[in-house]
Structure 1
Amino acid sequence: MTSPGPTTAESGDRGATPAGTGPADPGAASVPAQASRSARGLSMATGLSLGLRLVGMVVGMATTAVLARYLNPEGYGVFALALTLGTAAAQVADMGTTITVSSRIARDRESAGRILGTGLVIRTAVALAATVALLVAAGLGWFGESSAVVSVIAIATPLSAAAILTAGATARFRPEVSAILALVQGVLWLTAVVVIARTGGDVVLLAWFFVGVVMVQTGIGVLINRRLVPLGRPSWAEAGRIFALSWPLAISSLAVMAYYRLGSVILFHLQGAAEVGYYAAAYKFLDVAQLGPAMLVAPLLPIVATSLAGNPHRRNLIFSLAARTGVVIGAGTAVLLIALAPALVGYLYGDDYGPAVTPLMLLAVAFVGVALGYVGTTICSALGLVRPIAVLTVSVAVVNLAAQFWACARWGATGAAAVAAGTELVIGVSTCLLAARVMTSRLPVREMASVLVAGAATIALLWLVRLPWPVEAAMAAGMFGVAVLASRALTVADLRRVLSRRAL
């Protein structure tokens, strides 16, 4: 389930899945030493990106509050379903091209322009095909009352192909670029939603505003990219290399789209638009919270892509730090979302959205798996471990869809959220195990387990002792933070490492 609003594709997109079957491109040129940024420089860029994302998060939540209150649960469900389908089409159209292109640019700087230009052509061609498919399905009325909105949203799908340009920024260790684009789209979308709410526009007009926002965002992205990795002439030979590395990802992308996006479609047909509205309201918090792991993996992809040339000790340090940070982000966010669930839903959406509280708590548990999945899939993608990922995602998708039909029919949005939680935990743990294998590293089981225990203990205590929500939030953050430091899941040595003037 996606949040209402334009999306910017980036390495951490949950729709992205790994590509390749071995090292992503054994024949690619090595990255020159001067291409690496110091750990401190990369940390500062990531910190700037995080700051921009936090501002964008505030803007996004304000947008959601206005939109949800204006449309009411049923109208919000109709619009959210259309955006889910549009986002799903864009993710399927990517077929792993973005992450494959980013990994290749990180290793082959001399051919960066040609690689990026070829990737853009591939992504645009497939996005056009996805647009036609959406328009035909909407014309046949497959999406019920959302069909008219889907027809408009589909127009933005080819424009989403330009999001592949962020692959160049990622490969150049510039995570702040995608954050700037995300903030721009957030401000534009908030403006559009406020205008619609004040003028009394309907959801179809809102969809046209969505298309306009995507057009402006795409133009800004193209201008920014020209200063980083100018587009080169597309090459059939380069297209062959990209397809050779990413064809398994097409299968994986379909599977990920099925288990990540189609739950809302099933819920819509079984329980109606109102239940989709509750689910969308709860899932919005999960979407927004993904800025944490997204910031983690933005610099991780190019680092890992060149790590095979380093020594085993360095690879183990990179993997251990990423895995430990991922589980801290996931568990810490889950604790806060569970503690604040009633207050968040009531404040942002109003009393009409009370049924979204339980789904939000379940989706908070799912976020632990989401954060681990970011780490695992990014590492596997950067190094080309695809076939096991493809098998995993297809298998999980089949089980997920069967479980969604059963759970949604019985428990509506709560059932959908429970299935999503189980799915994300399985994906997160499994991909981290695969990442440990490809990095020839050890999974820091003790440290990760101690973080999960700390999170569970914090939630249990808050469950027993009911306090005003500001006090609960402060207690949750304080107790969890102390527990993480006491367990040495993250240490002062880790902080010194990421602030070092040497390359990470």
Structure 2
Amino acid sequence: MTSPGQTTDKPAQLAAAGPEQASRSARGLSMATAVSLGLRLLGMAVGMATNSVLARYLNPDGFGVFALALTLGTAAAQVADMGTTITVSSRIAREKASAGRILSTGLVIRTSVALVVTLGLLVAAAGGLFGGSSSVIGVVAIATPLSAASILTAGATARFRPEVSSVLALIQGVLWLVAVVTIARTGGDVVLLAWFFVAVVVVQTGIGVMINRRLVPLGRPSWAEAGRIFALSWPLAISALAVMAYYRLGSVILFHLQGAAEVGYYSAAYKFLDVAQLGPAMLVAPLLPIVATSAAMDAHRRKLVLSLAARTGAVIGVGTAVLLIALAPALVTFLYGDDFGPAVTPLILLAVAFVGVTLGYVGTTICSALGVVRPIAVLTVAVAVVNLAAQFWACARWGATGAAAVAAGTEFVIGTATCLLAARAMTSRLPVRQMASVLLLGALTVLVLWLVRLPWPVEAGLAAGLFGTAVLAARAITLADLRRVLSPKAL
């Protein structure tokens, strides 16, 4: 993976950037991003191995119960964030002298809200709102306040250090794999598994705090800083609630309408989507601080940044979708076993959704870095209302397949709309022709794979080769782009 762009190297901008940022070149950032991608790929392999052990040990019903608990725990963490992390990262990129005070204030905000959200989840679980999953959800909820420390990676992001969050994710993945294998071999139940999950989060949090001390030492929290963070983040908080509603609550609706087994199939398919997000995550890690300081760029440079980010996002999203569609039956059978055969169709639909997910990463990151967040909030709230209504209808009729179809439509709308908003925020134009050509090439590649049935290793190689060659031939990504991101000039 390469950086989506670079800022101008004018002396005045370097002086304003400070010594640490000024010393980072486009090539250095690209190398750091490549290292980060390698770590994420290793983490992806670890994560899929973990899910394989979990699914085979718990079977569809048990896997569905535990997946619902993790889904709600993740949703609680997203709600607790309230847009604080991306706001803090953007401000640190622009206001380096106040970095410690900004980061510590963000940590206090995130932890305080996480405690409130955790209390609400514990009360709901104690009241039996989630049926047989309530006890597991109650344990997993304990990890929510601990996960608030993940905001510390905002400092690393602002300092152009994307590899830090990758290291932490890999550490968590390895520890979680060890915990899952231990439970499977000793015959522990799902509640003990949840306690192991909390322990892993505790260890990861401690390591994250130690790493952060070398990057952005914490300062004294400030009420004034809290006011500034809230002024920028409240639309993102509303957006986070809406995203949580359409991104995570589909599993809850499916659980109540179709039962744990259907949640198991849907969650098994969604795990691939969660893991695949390492691609867009690597893209937006350097994109955020670049865009946050783009006010000093000329129009041509802003156009280059937007164009490269959008084209790279399209290639990552469509390329990943093509591979997931080609490998869906083999992946599900290999990782989860024959019992999870019904997860294949949802996985194909979620692969289509991933295109929108990736474009949404690009558009939302650019808008958030520039403070253009109210339109994002309006968009996500409107989409969430439509999504939830559609989920009740689709889940009742088609179960996991219906939930995946609604997710695909939702993500396409979000991805397209946020990219349009990002172009307006950058006062530039999207590379519509190149992005459309990538989508068309992906569709043609899938069509060829459906017409020519081959063994899955051959099919995977054919998919990658066809799509990669077509992207280069269509000049969606060019040699000039590679020269830009490998430039030795300082950012």
Shorter-chain TM band: over 0.9
On the 8 A contact 2:353/2:411 being kept in 1, the answer is yes
1:234 partner SS: coil
> What letter corresponds to residue 198 of structure 1 in structure 2?
R
Counterpart in the other structure of 2:444:
457
Segments of 4+ moved more than 4 angstroms: none
Give the Cα–Cα distance (whole angstroms) in 2 for the partners of residues 342 and 195 of structure 1.
Answer: 28
> What letter corresponds to residue 397 of structure 1 in structure 2?
A
> What letter corresponds to residue 337 of structure 2 in structure 1?
G
Q: What is the TM-score of this pair, normalised by structure 1? A: 0.94
**1:102 matches 2:62:** no
Counterpart in the other structure of 1:364:
351
- After superposition, the Cα gap between the structure-2 partners of 1:347 and 1:255, relative to the gap in structure 1 and judged at 3 Å, is same
Give the Cα–Cα distance (whole angstroms) in 1 for the partners of residues 169 and 242 of structure 2.
Answer: 26
CA deviation string 1:229-287 (max 9, x = no partner)? 00000001101100111111121111000000000000000000000000000001101
The structure 2 residue matched to 1:218, chosen from 186, 202, 205, is 205
> What letter corresponds to residue 70 of structure 1 in structure 2?
Y
> What letter corresponds to residue 471 of structure 2 in structure 1?
V
Counterpart in the other structure of 1:412:
399
**1:175 matches 2:162:** yes
- After superposition, the Cα gap between the structure-2 partners of 1:312 and 1:32, relative to the gap in structure 1 and judged at 3 Å, is farther
1:463 partner SS: helix
Counterpart in the other structure of 1:488:
475
The structure 1 residue matched to 2:320, chosen from 317, 333, 338, is 333
Counterpart in the other structure of 1:63:
50
Give the Cα–Cα distance (whole angstroms) in 1 for the partners of residues 333 and 174 of structure 2.
Answer: 24
1:483 partner SS: helix
Counterpart in the other structure of 1:5:
none
On the 8 A contact 1:30/1:108 being kept in 2, the answer is no
Give the Cα–Cα distance (whole angstroms) in 1 for the partners of residues 282 and 235 of structure 2.
Answer: 26
Give the Cα–Cα distance (whole angstroms) in 2 for the partners of residues 72 and 491 of structure 1.
Answer: 46
On the 8 A contact 1:31/1:108 being kept in 2, the answer is no
Give the Cα–Cα distance (whole angstroms) in 1 for the partners of residues 457 and 202 of structure 2.
Answer: 40
The structure 2 residue matched to 1:51, chosen from 22, 35, 38, is 38
Counterpart in the other structure of 1:313:
300
Give the Cα–Cα distance (whole angstroms) in 1 for the partners of residues 220 and 46 of structure 2.
Answer: 38
Give the Cα–Cα distance (whole angstroms) in 2 for the partners of residues 108 and 308 of structure 1.
Answer: 14
Q: What is the TM-score of this pair, normalised by structure 2? A: 0.96
Counterpart in the other structure of 1:32:
18
CA deviation string 1:23-51 (max 9, x = no partner)? xxxxxx95337623210000000000001
**1:378 matches 2:395:** no
Give the Cα–Cα distance (whole angstroms) in 1 for the partners of residues 48 and 107 of structure 2.
Answer: 31
Give the CA deviation at 1:502: 1.2
2:17 partner SS: coil
**1:425 matches 2:412:** yes
On the 8 A contact 2:21/2:160 being kept in 1, the answer is no
**1:77 matches 2:64:** yes
Give the Cα–Cα distance (whole angstroms) in 1 for the partners of residues 235 and 274 of structure 2.
Answer: 26
Counterpart in the other structure of 1:115:
102
Give the Cα–Cα distance (whole angstroms) in 2 for the partners of residues 495 and 262 of structure 1.
Answer: 40
CA deviation string 1:445-496 (max 9, x = no partner)? 1100110110000001111111111111111000001110011000000001
Give the Cα–Cα distance (whole angstroms) in 2 for the partners of residues 350 and 497 of structure 1.
Answer: 45
The structure 2 residue matched to 1:151, chosen from 138, 154, 163, is 138
Counterpart in the other structure of 1:87:
74
Give the Cα–Cα distance (whole angstroms) in 1 for the partners of residues 209 and 19 of structure 2.
Answer: 28
Counterpart in the other structure of 1:277:
264
> What letter corresponds to residue 41 of structure 2 in structure 1?
L
CA deviation string 1:197-254 (max 9, x = no partner)? 0000000000000000000000000000000000000001101100111111121111
**1:256 matches 2:213:** no
Counterpart in the other structure of 1:12:
none
Counterpart in the other structure of 2:340:
353
On the 8 A contact 2:317/2:355 being kept in 1, the answer is yes
On the 8 A contact 2:324/2:348 being kept in 1, the answer is yes
Give the Cα–Cα distance (whole angstroms) in 2 for the partners of residues 89 and 328 of structure 1.
Answer: 31
> What letter corresponds to residue 337 of structure 1 in structure 2?
L
Counterpart in the other structure of 2:309:
322
On the 8 A contact 1:85/1:150 being kept in 2, the answer is yes
> What letter corresponds to residue 370 of structure 1 in structure 2?
V
Give the CA deviation at 1:378: 0.4
Counterpart in the other structure of 1:470:
457
> What letter corresponds to residue 75 of structure 2 in structure 1?
A
Give the Cα–Cα distance (whole angstroms) in 1 for the partners of residues 464 and 421 of structure 2.
Answer: 31
1:157 partner SS: helix
Give the Cα–Cα distance (whole angstroms) in 2 for the partners of residues 40 and 371 of structure 1.
Answer: 24
Single out whichever of 241-250 and 198-207 deviates more from structure 2. 241-250
1:467 partner SS: coil
Give the Cα–Cα distance (whole angstroms) in 2 for the partners of residues 184 and 160 of structure 1.
Answer: 14
On the 8 A contact 1:373/1:428 being kept in 2, the answer is yes
Give the CA deviation at 1:310: 1.2
Give the Cα–Cα distance (whole angstroms) in 2 for the partners of residues 248 and 338 of structure 1.
Answer: 35
CA deviation string 1:304-348 (max 9, x = no partner)? 000111111111100000000000000000000000000000000
Alignment map for 1:156-167 (pairs within 5 Å): 156-167=143-154
Give the Cα–Cα distance (whole angstroms) in 2 for the partners of residues 160 and 59 of structure 1.
Answer: 20
Give the Cα–Cα distance (whole angstroms) in 2 for the partners of residues 311 and 153 of structure 1.
Answer: 48
Give the Cα–Cα distance (whole angstroms) in 2 for the partners of residues 394 and 92 of structure 1.
Answer: 14
> What letter corresponds to residue 35 of structure 1 in structure 2?
Q
Give the CA deviation at 1:503: 3.4
On the 8 A contact 1:102/1:167 being kept in 2, the answer is yes
> What letter corresponds to residue 446 of structure 1 in structure 2?
R
Give the Cα–Cα distance (whole angstroms) in 1 for the partners of residues 456 and 35 of structure 2.
Answer: 30
Query: Gaps spanning 5+ residues in structure 1: where?
Result: 1-28
Counterpart in the other structure of 2:125:
138
**1:237 matches 2:228:** no
> What letter corresponds to residue 443 of structure 1 in structure 2?
L
The structure 2 residue matched to 1:42, chosen from 21, 26, 29, is 29
